Amino acid sequence: MSFVRTGMRQTAYGHLSATTAGIKFRRIALQSARGYASKLIKYNWEDALLLDSQLTDEEKMVRETARNYAQEHLLPGIVQATRTETFDTKIMREMGDRGLLGSTIEGYGCAGVSHVAYGLAAREIERIDSGYRSAMSVQSSLVMHPINEFGSLEQKEKYLPRLATGELIGAFGLTEPNHGSDPAGMETTAKRDGSVYRLNGSKMWITNSPIADVFIVWAKNVEENGKIRGFILERGMKGLSAPVIDGKMALRASITGMIQMDDVEVPVDNMLPNAQGLKGPFSCLNKARYGIAWGVLGAAENCLGIARNYALDRKQFGVPLARFQLVQAKLANAHSEIALGLQACLRVGRLIEEDQLAVEMISLIKRNSCVKALEISRNMRDILGGNGIADEFHIIRHLNNLEVTNTYEGTADIHLLTLGRAVTGIPAFAATD
């Protein structure tokens, strides 16, 4: 059907007069002209969907604080820290000085900023290295959050102010040598003995544990038929040790170890009173996963920026690498995935603030960001060729780190199954489900 039949009242709009139809067509033409004018707006590839315009002034301030700190204090030493597998504890105090630890918590010396602001900070720190963001994330989401959310007033007042400044360093013990994706199967136990609980067991792959002053440990309480409870342990308790894990090929700029407990006596008052079952540790993990979703995109952005500059400078066959279609395709794909991923993270951050978060949203963005960031790092490394494995170009470090972020805090496959359960209503985590 043509839109207007000359001399007839029948049009694509229905029974309208020719005059009315003409007016409508003129409106469409005007709208099209306006649409064309909008195409003249210059495209900013570094902020493709105008994320900056969606942020509050406070969020921008937090981002700039984290960016300046990361670029001025973390970047200069990252290559050497990775080579020597060292983490300087002063970094925690420096982050604390800038309000980056436990930043979403209200009171107790914490900044009390939005979750979007926290995500932006994670992005800037991980632009340098995932290990540094991990240290910040563990302190904020896995140690300070459970104390603030599930702790007593006395526990909050005792620990949070000193954790916020970085004076105290925290670690989180959930994963065990034989239990990763299935934390319900944990073997660590707590048994009441008068005024103390006796904790026995071990935790594995624990960020910060060798340098931690405070440990949030999850154990099955024998007196409650194995109900999972959280406990605050302190360095120096008899029977408690936290040996380092050496020889990592990723996250080398952060420190990782174990938590070993041999009849450790923990005062009854050190149990988190308001955490029962897996809801407690999962609440912590979802906080951390949210920050990871933002953070890994910062690492991916760094890889993209390095590869872009390299492709513009490096010449082969008499022209820059950026002149070749396959190179442009890799850069454009990376650019697209980062822009879309950031918008997803921003939206989830706003939903957290509006108390409209479904936990599956965390699985969606954590998995998406981690899978895409890892793919981006591999493709950007490829653009650099042999130079891509040299540590001074940074990409190979990001690539190795992103192999880990794709696995920890819930593997990509586990998050995929979480989403599959949401779509189908059928759990498929194990053969017995």
pLDDT for residue 40: 86
Write out the chain's pLDDT in tens, 433 residues: 443 344 444 444 444 455 555 556 566 655 665 655 556 899 999 999 999 999 999 999 999 999 999 999 999 999 999 999 999 999 999 999 999 999 999 999 999 999 999 999 999 999 999 999 999 999 999 999 999 999 999 999 999 999 999 999 999 999 999 887 778 889 999 999 999 999 999 999 999 999 999 999 999 999 999 999 999 999 999 999 999 999 999 999 999 999 999 999 999 999 999 999 988 998 999 999 999 999 999 999 999 999 999 999 999 999 999 999 999 999 999 999 999 999 999 999 999 999 999 999 999 999 999 999 999 999 999 999 999 999 999 999 999 999 999 999 889 999 999 999 999 999 998 766 5
The 3-state secondary structure of the chain reads CCCECCCCCEECCEECCHHHHHHHHHHHHHHHHHHHHHCCCCCCHHHCCCHHHHCCHHHHHHHHHHHHHHHHHHHHHHHHHHHHCCCCCHHHHHHHHCCCCCCCCCCCCCCCCCHHHHHHHHHHHHHHCHHHHHHHHHHHHHHHHHHHHHCCHHHHHHHHHHHHHCCCCEEEECCECCECCCHHHCCCEEEEECCEEEEEEEEEEEECHHHCCEEEEEEEEHHHCCEEEEEEEECCCCCEECCECCCCCCCCCCCEEEEEEEEEEEEHHHECCCCCCCHHHHHHHHHHHHHHHHHHHHHHHHHHHHHHHHHHHCEECCEEHHHCHHHHHHHHHHHHHHHHHHHHHHHHHHHHHCCCCCHHHHHHHHHHHHHHHHHHHHHHHHHCHHHHHCHHHCHHHHHHHHHHHCCCCCCHHHHHHHHHHHHHCCCCCCCCC
Give the active site residues. Answer: 409
Check residue 313 and give its pLDDT: 98
Structural domains in the chain plus CATH codes? 1-25 (no CATH), 47-169 (1.10.540.10), 171-270 (2.40.110.10), 279-424 (1.20.140.10)
Predicted pLDDT of residue 376: 99
Q: How far apart are CA 256 and CA 205, in angstroms?
A: 6
Contact (Cβ atoms closer than 8 angstroms) between residue 311 and residue 330? no
Listed in sequence order, the residues at least 6 apart from 100 whose beta carbon sits closer than 8 Å to its beta carbon are 65, 66, 69, 111, 121, 125, 136, 140
Tell me what pLDDT residue 31 has.
63
How many CA atoms does the CB half-sphere of 199 hold within 13 Å?
A: 34
